[in-house]
Structure 1
Amino acid sequence: MTKERYGGIDLFKFFAAILVITIHTGPLLSYNSRADFLLTSLAARIAVPFFFMASGYFFFHKIKNEQGNQTKLLRQFLQRTGILYAICILIYLPVNAYAGHLTGAWNLPILIKSLLFGGTFYHLWYLPALMIGVAIVYGLRSFLREPYVIIVTLLLYLAALLGDNYYSLAAENQALQNMVQHVYGIMDSTRNGIFFAPLFIALGSLEANRRKPKRSALHSYILLFGISMAVLFLEGLLLQRSFAGTAIAPFNDMYAALVPAVFFLFLILLAGRGREHKWPRRLSTWIYVLHPAVIVGVRGIAKLTGLEAILIEDSLVHFASVVILSVAVSLLGIKILDVYKKERTSPLPRGKERAWAEISIANLLHNVRQLQSLLPRSTALTAVVKANAYGHGSVEIAKELQKADIHSFAVASVDEGVALRRSGLKGEILILGFTPTHRLDDVRRYKLVQTVVSAADAERLQEFGKPLRVHIKIDTGLHRLGEPYSNTEGILSMYRHSRLHVAGTFSHLAAADSLEADDLAFTRLQFERFQHTVSQIRAAGLKTGRLHLLNSSGILNYYDAGMQLDGVRSGIALYGLLSKETDRVRADIDLRPVMSLKANVTRVQRIHAGEPAGYNRSFLAERDTSIATLSIGYADGIPRELPEKGGSVLIRGRRARILATITMDQMLVDVTGIPGVQQGDTVTLLGRDGNDEITAGEIAEWTGTITNELLSTVGARVTRIYQ
């Protein structure tokens, strides 16, 4: 699997918003009416259907990936869009009042018709149409297969054409004419959420449930789009000619060729991919909503300044003014909203935090590049994000890695995998450990990949009765999980189960972190055992899927030994560390620690020589001593044995020795030799302050553990700040 990217769609959303302004301003009208017709009544008409198709694609893509409470997703979508619609109605109330739209007879049926189909202001029809259209397609998909959904919505669109540009055909048949007039009596237009929107939303749904278009097909899509646009122009010109000399004015909203044109345009944008662009995506919505108000504003400014001849009568200047002001106002609105959100949701200032971990995304991505530099381009890197990404925050770390084109992740349990999926993470998520039978439905529901830990386990998974995507583990000497490499028949049986779709085969190294001669020999032996087992599997005509063996130490010590295979798994090295600071590796790369751990000084006091401090009077002052209390303790992951092992922290760039017994929420340090320490000072327990640094390896050495354990025990109540 590859990371899904929608840069082309993001950029075109912005362009489509400008096309909507084009429709509403007629940039070439004062220069050449025929050219303006080609631009505003034909070319620009792809904008709104494109928005419908994009909305359908992303909504039903989310439905496909969630596999959970889909009705809840629909309800959330309708609620969000409905709130936006309500806000837009309020924004345009003054404009409606000024234009006199609120005068005249109003009753409940008129109000309902206006809200559901008219949009209360001329461009707002899109929002209720989107809600109705998505609800219709969602309902059709619940009892019809995808092709039939397309057929039903296509019939609705064809019916809509009879009420739009092809009204002349309906007029020739009394029954059709009566039908169209009846529809107009209820809805004012066939370009709405019942007739117009569902087809494009259904096409988006169709693409969401298919494999992404291949880049190799891009030229074909471009050619088909070009042909469709040529047909659209021909259709529009013929329709315009057919209306000439009649009392019926063309609508210029709906064309038959619009359907393939928008469809192939969308395939081009999907196949082109490109990196994501959040700003154009956000701007497009703001521009769409605000540009009519800007049009009113530009006209008002022109009248006040006497510049009507330039700002209004010159259609191109009028268009440019509206575009520039719409973008400017939208950018300002986005900025104000972002500041408001930041004030409401951002963490408290660091001086007011109890304890926090600073997570350097720059160092994380640097480590990814360093590790990848050791690997062949064909070897994929799997990010091990188990144990809350070794204490760094699994969801946040995985999302940042996904942006960096990492599309394979490994976790220890089904719950860890579910948490990542619920956060919206794409790509493969491999569960490295055992999953109980009663949780296998979650493995399927969230599209996780299960490790098969033995031949007997494979039989259990087969008996579950539903297809599962799996990686098979071979025990080559660690003797933890996996079917022993020597049991050839047992291993082959794992690949023959009809319900297990084998996507990978792997093993785990026992001594890859050691450069001792006997450990080097044992690691090579494990590799040979694995290769021999793979050859036996393939000789039996069975597929192994992706092969992966090396862990962090394996990458750093065997990057040039031909052991990389199809993939590698990196855990601790990804976070810039070795398990032990004293470990030596063969690779000459620069790994940078990702986490710094900090807390606050909450109190400073002076005790006299001979006075005790801490539980059980565990510290006895040998001299007058200044003691600082810190807002962090063993419940936050601080090892309790640090005071006895000579542990220290950094305050104002200098080391302060840890005193007394570390308690659940607090600890004491000696700041006698550090002038000016006061409440609110930042304390560094892990990381750099000034010219000094306390490393995870140093703390692990003090306490007789490894960095993996130290980082993964950093408590949940420690705020993670990503920077």
Structure 2
Amino acid sequence: METKIYNSQAEIDTSKLRAWVEIDLSKFKHNIEVIKELLHDDVQIVGVVKANAYGHGDVVVAKYFESLGIKYFAVACIEEAIKLREGGIKGDIIILGWTPSCQKDDLIKYDLCQTLANEAYAEELSKLPGTVRGYVKLNTGMNRLGEPKEHMDLIEKIYTLDNIKVEGIFSHLSRSDSKLEADIVFTKQQIANFDYVINKLKADGFELGNVHLQNSYGIVTYRDLHYDLARPGIILYGVPSDPLDDTLDNLPNGMKFEAPLSLRCKVAMVKDVTPGQSVGYGNNFTATETIKVATVTIGYADGLSRLVSKKDMKVLVNGKYARQIGNVCMDQMMIDVSGIDVKEGDTVTLIGQDGDNYLSVNQISLLSNTITNETLSVIGERVKRVYHL
């Protein structure tokens, strides 16, 4: 069934929704335009839509990217890749992670591009019948996947293997978001290691295919780099990785990324809690005065980390700030709505705009002691995705 895309936020019917995210697709278009301004004109974008497009809904987001001219996509695993292909995505789909060699038939059937994590894995795929498309992965210093530059003989061997069509070669920058001098030096060494391999392969007469290195912060911070493709991840979704990082606030020419996602739920019940009464599991909040408490329809099973409990996390109700109290439950949590005109069924905003006030994903990430990538990507399946232009 085709997902409905509303023409505006005002058209969305939330009457049957318990907890949901609203995705403003037009902000993706804006973010892609910003990314293009940061890249050389001939560089093509790989839309990274792994982890359900960082919680935004992979098939719908990828289809929208495709409508904007994006021809390449990246996912983490074969299951994500097949979902995209069965969802109608026509462009190249690169699997960034490992796929069991016994699934080579599926790689071929769905016309997927498999990351070749090292020579031994590539050789394993090569021995099985049928030609699979692949991207050579280089280990330039992260020590996750890939062959290092010291293994030039193995890297070159991958290009000669039977039953593998090498579509390109890439690596990943692991500290490009850091402003620390040691990390800048490390990143520059990663770039040098990558370029060494690329130049050696060219000198030895190999056809490399698509070359790519820049991830989100490689695009933002190392703008002089110039390869065939670039792989924006978190910046497509309009937020910094580190919630305290201000790099995205200092783009050239006043450019800004915009966050497409809002996270909302409903008020299920409103009640008065008198002095001495506790709220929630474990007696972790006791009222010292009479307060008005709302129970709202979201919990840690929806992807809201229990680590935000008892830290006065802000939410918005009817345009006004309220605070979370007690422990976040599996399916619900409680908020102090004293002084706010609120009733059952009202909308509660955890991320996004309500009236004149806005809450970014950074708040939840900070209180959870994590990065925004995780906060977004763990938003649960039972949280409905709703899309508008």
TM-score using structure 1 length: 0.51
| Displacement of 1:348 | 8.3
- Separation (CA, whole Å) in 2 of partners of 1:518 and 1:599: 43
Deviates more, 1:470-479 or 1:637-646: 637-646
- Contact 2:312–2:325 (8 Å) recurs in 1: no
Q: Deviations over 1:78-120 (max 9, x none)?
A: xxxxxxxxxxxxxxxxxxxxxxxxxxxxxxxxxxxxxxxxxxx
> Which one has a larger percent strand, Structure 1 or Structure 2?
2
Residue matched to 1:547: 211
| Displacement of 1:564 | 2.9
After TM superposition, the structure 1 = structure 2 runs for residues 538-577 of structure 1, keeping only pairs within 5 Å, are: 538-559=202-223, 561=224, 563-577=225-239
Residue matched to 1:659: 325
1:596 aligned residue (252, 255, 262): 262
Q: Deviations over 1:339-385 (max 9, x none)?
A: 9xx9xxxx983133101100010111100111011111210000100
Q: Which residue type is aligned with residue 570 of structure 1? A: P
- Separation (CA, whole Å) in 2 of partners of 1:697 and 1:480: 27
1:705 aligned residue (361, 364, 370): 370
1:526 aligned residue (173, 177, 190): 190
- Contact 2:242–2:372 (8 Å) recurs in 1: yes
Aligned-residue CA RMSD in angstroms?
Answer: 1.5
Residue matched to 1:582: 244
- Separation (CA, whole Å) in 1 of partners of 2:197 and 2:228: 16
| Displacement of 1:492 | 1.1
Q: Which residue type is aligned with residue 661 of structure 1? A: N
Q: Deviations over 1:203-231 (max 9, x none)?
A: xxxxxxxxxxxxxxxxxxxxxxxxxxxxx
1:648 aligned residue (283, 290, 314): 314
Q: Which residue type is aligned with residue 643 of structure 1? A: S
- Separation (CA, whole Å) in 1 of partners of 2:293 and 2:16: 20
- Separation (CA, whole Å) in 1 of partners of 2:246 and 2:127: 46
- Contact 2:313–2:363 (8 Å) recurs in 1: no
Which has the higher relative contact order, 1 or 2, with Cα contacts under 8 A spaced 6 or more apart? 2
Residue matched to 2:134: 470
Residue matched to 1:314: none
Q: Deviations over 1:624-666 (max 9, x none)?
A: 1110010111111111121233312111111111011111111
Q: Deviations over 1:102-155 (max 9, x none)?
A: xxxxxxxxxxxxxxxxxxxxxxxxxxxxxxxxxxxxxxxxxxxxxxxxxxxxxx
1:415 aligned residue (68, 79, 97): 79
Q: Deviations over 1:552-571 (max 9, x none)?
A: 01101011x2x231110011
Ranges in structure 2 where 5+ consecutive residues have no aligned partner: none
- Contact 2:284–2:310 (8 Å) recurs in 1: no
2:273 aligned residue (592, 607, 611): 607
Between structure 1 and structure 2, the one with the greater Rg is 1
Q: Which residue type is aligned with residue 605 of structure 1? A: K
- Contact 2:115–2:134 (8 Å) recurs in 1: yes
Residue matched to 1:378: 42
| Displacement of 1:587 | 2.9
Q: Which residue type is aligned with residue 178 of structure 2? A: S
User: Runs of 4+ in structure 1 displaced over 3 angstroms?
Assistant: none
Q: Does 1:434 align with 2:103?
A: no
- Contact 1:359–1:721 (8 Å) recurs in 2: yes
> Which one has a larger percent helix, Structure 1 or Structure 2?
1
Ranges in structure 1 where 5+ consecutive residues have no aligned partner: 1-338
TM-score using structure 2 length: 0.94
Residue matched to 1:721: 386
- Separation (CA, whole Å) in 1 of partners of 2:296 and 2:342: 12
| Displacement of 1:439 | 1.5
Q: Which residue type is aligned with residue 611 of structure 1? A: Q
Q: Deviations over 1:461-488 (max 9, x none)?
A: 1112210110000000000000112111
After TM superposition, the structure 1 = structure 2 runs for residues 343-382 of structure 1, keeping only pairs within 5 Å, are: 349-382=13-46
Residue matched to 1:18: none
1:673 aligned residue (339, 352, 358): 339
- Separation (CA, whole Å) in 1 of partners of 2:257 and 2:42: 22
- Separation (CA, whole Å) in 1 of partners of 2:87 and 2:123: 32
Size of the aligned set, in residue pairs, is 376
